[in-house]
Structure 1
Amino acid sequence: MTNSKRFSSLIDPRNGFCNADSTFYSKRKPLALPSNDSLNVTTFISSQTHHGTTAFIDASTDHCISFSDLWRAVDRVADSLQHDVGIRKGDVVLVLSPNSITIPIVCLSVMSLGAVVTTANPLNTSGEISRQIADSNPKLAFTTPELAPKLASSGISIILECVEYSLRAPGGLRVVGILNEMIKKEPRGQRVRNQVNKDDTAMLLYSSGTTGLSKGVISSHGNLIAHVARYIAEPFEQPQQTFLCTVPLFHTFGLLNFVMATLTLGTTVIILPRFELGQMMAAVEKYRAKTLILVPPVLVAMINKADQIKAKYDVSFLRTVRCGGAPLSKEVTKVFMEKYPTVDVYQGYALTESNGVGASIDSVEESKRYGAVGLLSCGAEARIVEPKTGQFKGVNQTGELWLKGPSIAKGYFRNEEELITSEGWLKTGDLCYIDDDGYIFIVDRLKELIKYKGYQVAPAELEALLLNHPDILDAAVIPFPDKEAGQYPMAYIARRPESNLCERRVIEYISKQVAPYKKIRKVAFINSIPKTPSGKTLRKDLIKYAVSRL
């Protein structure tokens, strides 16, 4: 019996909090999981029924693939990987590619065999990719001719996307297959494959490393099945709608949404090979996309270019923007809705380690709770914990957010850092509170708090205030070392091109709005704020740069 059932009479229906075990329980519909332990995530997704016809459209070529053709391609590629390339259960397969409609085919094929998918950012250098290869030890890589040179020193076997490109593979690479040929090849009659269980590893995705080196996160088939089951329990308001994918598919945000969730519900996804604001808005107009899934920097760009966008493109079909990957401030949300009054903003919160579990805004009514990342995901439990003492907190009390549920990853690969407690709680490293109605609010990253003379200052609070300034396009606040105070807040500012905003005016602007210990005491101007592909500010890079100039 789960704790939620055992303590059901003691759980506050308004916010989900149970005093008996100091745990918040989800207010959403119960999560129904399959009882069969011998089940892989590919089979689970393909077994779901829906009324969708077109699965993916390549925005750059208009090439589309139906659901039936997609699953036929998955089966053929899996067959070829097993018999021609020798991929077996437990083998790691690297995907190094820009966004493409072939990525879902590759990932689902690999996981159906019990092999493990790992992905790499195409923008990474050869050295960065080599370090990930050394850590994950893949047997095979799927890539494109343009990216293949980055693998030249690895000695890894590769599969290229198209046959005409195979002749252009750089020296030192061994091409063992062409994806387009594998998709066309009829599978063999004999189909004996290793049994895959829910506890077997399905993915090895690397965390973004905003506060340190990235680490491989081990996710099982059961973890991913639980993620998909959430969308079956709580589907989108309009399941058969058209989504536009602008987020990178190598990242957990894109991979879990567009390789898994949308396939389960039968939605059509238009994939942009790379993000460019004009191309994205042209695709919204051309395909009459109703939903955009974005990271915060793109949403900010839509605000800054709102007049030009509405003058050039017809965005009247757009109804919803779902935003995740990094915190979205209350102030930015309000400004966006002023610029695009017919579009609702649904924020979400999750981690690579939680496989989509966290919180989400899923209705117009919920979206009115500005600043919240949403209600706790179905099937999930949460605790708010005082970081120093380990004391459990209650409603409207701030502490580190801990999460528990069937989607939580198994742990870090080759890393002894504790990810999950012995009771199965994921320590998120995020300072949060849960309000009277069960909405989760992110205060800041625990590791990013600035310690000023014993006081704790949240960078996110100051950044939200800075973004309200009309001359500021983007901002990041970091801790700057100081002999007397220990640290004090320093702001990096990206100002509008025509602005003459100076350090003194920024400091005065913030000083009028915060307590003395929260004041910004140093400002530097920069062309753009460095961020991960998911939109998280790379504070460690800014800190390193600031300290190097001492």
Structure 2
Amino acid sequence: MQKAAIDQRSGFCEATGIYYSKREHVKLPADPSLTLPNFIFHHHSVDPTATAYIDAATGASLSYGQLKTQVFSFAAGLSSFGVQPGDVVLILSPNSIVFGVSLLAIMACGAIATTTNPLNTPLEIAKQASDSQAKFIVSLPSLIPKLPKLLPLILLKDFDKNDLEHLGIANASLERNSELDRHTLASFLAKRGFPRFAIFSELLQSERSSVSSDHYGRQDDTAALLYSSGTTGTSKGVILTHGNFIAQVRILTRVEEIIPWALRVYMCIIPMFHVYGMAFFAFALLAKGSTVVLQQKFDLVETLRAIEKYRITHAPVVPPVLVALAKSPMVQKFDLSSLVSVGSGAAPLSKEVMDAFTKRFPHVYVSQGYGLTESTAIGANTATAEEARQYGSTGTIASNMEFRIVDVASGTPLPPNQRGEIWMRGPTIMKGYFGNPGETAAVLDREGWLHTGDLGYINEDGFVYIVDRLKELIKYKGFQVCILITSYGDRICRY
């Protein structure tokens, strides 16, 4: 396709009915045997002494050198525990440093990560474990009552007195020791349906020789099964490959902007079990050497304290958090001068909120975006302060991505400023829905177009606007809930 056939202002080509990204095309790695962990740790130059993760609550941290060592040591430990390439490992945990380590370690040993919300019910968790055919569980002692029984269990931390008190169990051995001894722990878990278990700290001592950083996998292998309501409202396992995540990392980190990536400090409030939290905070930022400050759940005062203490430069949030930053008097008590950018998803921000935020933080620009679990959180986003001033827009089409706006009745591609269903195509689009060829065929056509079920339009300047859903309501825990579009992948903020 010659550039002359593409309108340079909107990116629309009348001959093909396709909107092309106006951004620079990103070159993707051609090596078919490249895996995501190998790409992150061996295809980027990052200072090993730089800080990768900080736990906001405890101040605990992990350097990039330590992160790499732990990822491949834990991967070796998982292999020694019996995790095989292609096995599905379910992670149930809030944000933590070991969560990030676990994700990459699972993929480094050739296995597949599936994640779920710790707030889910035991029935919901069991359903996902069954549907994904999970063979192992990685979780915390406090979450044991929610876990499906009989599956081998990997605990991310040792049991302590607080864990047993949380579970309503007294144990005399804890009067003498801060942690349960191995025999007592084995008996405790066996009685609760977990005859086989391991602990993160023990598996971390495994010999790394059993897992080579250059081994186990190809770009087209499945890296994760992330569950999404999809376009029909029923939860399905979205198959995302190593190649999907590698493309996502390259597309998200294509621009250096004002602050070099290695000097950026990000606040991570978005759950890492969600596609955006995972792909951005656990993968993309690590490839570029940024520091990620982790918070388990949002608390305004604790978030403000962390921004001040750790000199946060970037803070992706959801709209209620941004509204609080714009309007809460509590904000005045903290030094937030380090902030450069705040990202917002889940719904377009009103001009009123944007104006209020800009008035309080004139030096901070607000980025917005649009993506789905099925597109590895990639679609459209605002990349500059100027783009962010397009109120109501989710930005312009991301690098390497193509859009169509299609008439719902006729299937005809539509030109700028006409509303229709949004279709997306590009290197981050999912492989399909796990074990569900019918649902896959319904949303992913033979030409590679993902039919999103979202209604919107692209204006004459190439900005994407989301206006509605083909089916606006779904059931969530028995209630009819309005679906909201989020740049964090799924269409419901469940946190």
TM-score bracket, normalised by the shorter chain, equals 0.7 to 0.9
Q: Could you tell me how far 1:537 is from its partner in structure 2?
A: 5.7
Q: Which amino acid aligns with 2:155?
A: L
User: Conserved in 2, the CA contact under 8 Å of 1:7 and 1:20?
Assistant: no
CA distance in 1, matches of 2:490, 2:20: 29
Return closer, same or farther for 1:134/1:189 CA change in 2, 3 Å cut-off.
closer
Return closer, same or farther for 1:533/1:367 CA change in 2, 3 Å cut-off.
closer
How many residues are treated as equivalent by the alignment? Answer: 455
Q: Quick check: 251-260 or 316-325, which moved more?
A: 316-325
Q: Could you tell me how far 1:419 is from its partner in structure 2?
A: 2.3
Q: Secondary structure at the match of 2:113?
A: strand
Gaps of 5+ in 2: 161-179, 475-479
Q: Could you tell me how far 1:246 is from its partner in structure 2?
A: 0.5
Q: How does 1:464-475 map to 2 (within 5 A)?
A: none
Q: Secondary structure at the match of 1:346?
A: strand
CA distance in 2, matches of 1:97, 1:478: 27
Q: Could you tell me how far 1:362 is from its partner in structure 2?
A: 1.2
What is the aligned counterpart of 1:259 among 263, 276, 282? 282
User: Conserved in 2, the CA contact under 8 Å of 1:376 and 1:438?
Assistant: yes
CA distance in 2, matches of 1:189, 1:94: 22
Gaps of 5+ in 1: 1-5, 451-475, 480-528, 540-550
Q: Which amino acid aligns with 2:101?
A: I
Report the equivalent of 1:410: 431
Report the equivalent of 1:33: 28
Q: Could you tell me how far 1:97 is from its partner in structure 2?
A: 0.4
CA distance in 1, matches of 2:93, 2:231: 22
1:12 aligned onto 2:35: no
Q: Could you tell me how far 1:342 is from its partner in structure 2?
A: 2.7
Report the equivalent of 1:284: 307
What is the aligned counterpart of 2:421 among 374, 393, 400? 400
User: Conserved in 2, the CA contact under 8 Å of 1:375 and 1:438?
Assistant: yes
CA distance in 1, matches of 2:314, 2:74: 30
Report the equivalent of 2:137: 141
What is the aligned counterpart of 1:357 among 378, 385, 393? 378
Q: How does 1:1-150 map to 2 (within 5 A)?
A: 6-52=1-47, 53-82=50-79, 84-150=80-146
Q: Secondary structure at the match of 1:65?
A: strand
Q: Secondary structure at the match of 2:15?
A: coil
CA distance in 2, matches of 1:61, 1:248: 18
User: Which digits, 9 at most, give the CA deviation of each residue in 1:10-51, with x for residues without a partner?
Assistant: 111222111110111111111211111111111111123344
User: Conserved in 2, the CA contact under 8 Å of 1:160 and 1:175?
Assistant: no
1:206 aligned onto 2:201: no
User: Conserved in 2, the CA contact under 8 Å of 1:325 and 1:534?
Assistant: no
CA RMSD of aligned residues (A): 2.7
User: Conserved in 2, the CA contact under 8 Å of 1:248 and 1:254?
Assistant: yes
Q: Secondary structure at the match of 2:421?
A: strand
CA distance in 2, matches of 1:441, 1:533: 16
Q: Which has the higher contact order (CA 8 A, sep 6+)?
A: 2
CA distance in 1, matches of 2:487, 2:366: 22
Report the equivalent of 2:325: 302
Q: Could you tell me how far 1:57 is from its partner in structure 2?
A: 0.4
Q: Could you tell me how far 1:326 is from its partner in structure 2?
A: 4.0
1:248 aligned onto 2:271: yes
Q: Could you tell me how far 1:332 is from its partner in structure 2?
A: 2.9
1:433 aligned onto 2:461: no
Q: Secondary structure at the match of 1:303?
A: helix
Report the equivalent of 1:442: 466
User: Conserved in 1, the CA contact under 8 Å of 2:373 and 2:490?
Assistant: no
Return closer, same or farther for 1:333/1:314 CA change in 2, 3 Å cut-off.
same
Q: Which amino acid aligns with 1:408?
A: I
Specify the structure having the higher radius of gyration (Cα): 1
Q: Which amino acid aligns with 2:18?
A: T
CA distance in 1, matches of 2:125, 2:83: 21
Identity %: 42
Q: Secondary structure at the match of 1:228?
A: helix
User: Which digits, 9 at most, give the CA deviation of each residue in 1:336-363, with x for residues without a partner?
Assistant: 2234333211111110000022011111
User: Conserved in 2, the CA contact under 8 Å of 1:419 and 1:427?
Assistant: yes
CA distance in 2, matches of 1:389, 1:117: 39
User: Conserved in 2, the CA contact under 8 Å of 1:295 and 1:534?
Assistant: no
With normalisation by structure 2, the TM-score equals 0.86
CA distance in 1, matches of 2:370, 2:93: 26
Q: Quick check: 364-373 or 63-72, which moved more?
A: 364-373
With normalisation by structure 1, the TM-score equals 0.78
Q: Which amino acid aligns with 1:407?
A: T
CA distance in 1, matches of 2:150, 2:487: 28
Q: Which amino acid aligns with 2:76?
A: D
Q: Could you tell me how far 1:177 is from its partner in structure 2?
A: 1.4
Q: Could you tell me how far 1:243 is from its partner in structure 2?
A: 0.5
1:374 aligned onto 2:370: no
Q: Could you tell me how far 1:408 is from its partner in structure 2?
A: 0.2
1:337 aligned onto 2:358: yes
